[in-house]
């Protein structure tokens, strides 16, 4: 019995869920094309970087979502491999999440995804959880579900 007690995880608080939403008009985007604008086909580049800022709306007010994605064309699949970092800026701190997804050239909306929350600052220091984003009928739905590690 004593052996089982010594293998417990760090104490956690109950999970907190924050629900947010935004529309295409809430997004500011900028693209930087990599490899000197080298195209593999019309409208298809070897890679690019997308930077986006979205104003999200929720019960707690307005939150800024800052996204940076590096997208490289995978010649074997014909799709972009996207490495994405997302930071949500709240008045009392930030929540960061990182993840991967694939995007077909020409698609303008990233697929639905679930990324691990990798940490935060301020009131969100030392947290873990999941960032979920779903796109339905012109609205991006975001859920941040996190808990304090200590």
pLDDT in tens, 91-141: 999 999 999 999 998 888 999 999 999 999 999 999 999 999 999 999 999
CA 59 to CA 72: how far, in whole Å? 36
Residue 9: pLDDT over 90: no
Give me the domain span that covers residue 94.
29-115
**DSSP annotation of 26:** G
Specify if 1 maps to a domain.
no
Residue 2: pLDDT over 50: no
Chain centroid to CA 45 = 23
Chain centroid to CA 87 = 7
Domain count of the chain? 1
Specify if 111 maps to a domain.
yes
pLDDT in tens, 48-85: 888 999 999 998 789 999 999 999 999 899 999 999 99
The pTM of the full predicted model, rounded to 2 decimals, is 0.84
Specify if 128 maps to a domain.
no
Query: Tell me, what's the pLDDT at 133?
Result: 97
Average pLDDT for residues 17-43, to the nearest whole number? 83
9 vs 89, which has greater pLDDT?
A: 89
């Amino acid at each position: 019995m004593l052996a089982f007690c010594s293998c417990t995880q760090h104490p956690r608080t109950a999970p907190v869920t924050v629900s947010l939403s935004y529309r295409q008009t809430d997004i500011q985007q900028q693209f930087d094309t990599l490899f000197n604008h080298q195209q593999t086909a019309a409208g298809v580049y070897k890679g690019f970087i997308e930077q986006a800022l979205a104003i999200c709306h929720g019960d707690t007010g307005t939150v800024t979502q800052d996204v940076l994605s590096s997208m490289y064309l995978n010649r074997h699949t014909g799709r972009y491999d996207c490495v994405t970092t997302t930071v949500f800026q709240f008045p009392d701190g930030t929540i960061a999440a990182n993840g991967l997804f694939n995007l077909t050239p020409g698609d303008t909306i990233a697929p639905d995804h679930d990324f691990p929350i990798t940490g935060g600052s301020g009131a969100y220091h030392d947290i873990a959880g999941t960032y979920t984003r779903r796109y339905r009928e012109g609205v991006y739905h975001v859920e941040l579900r996190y808990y304090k590690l200590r």
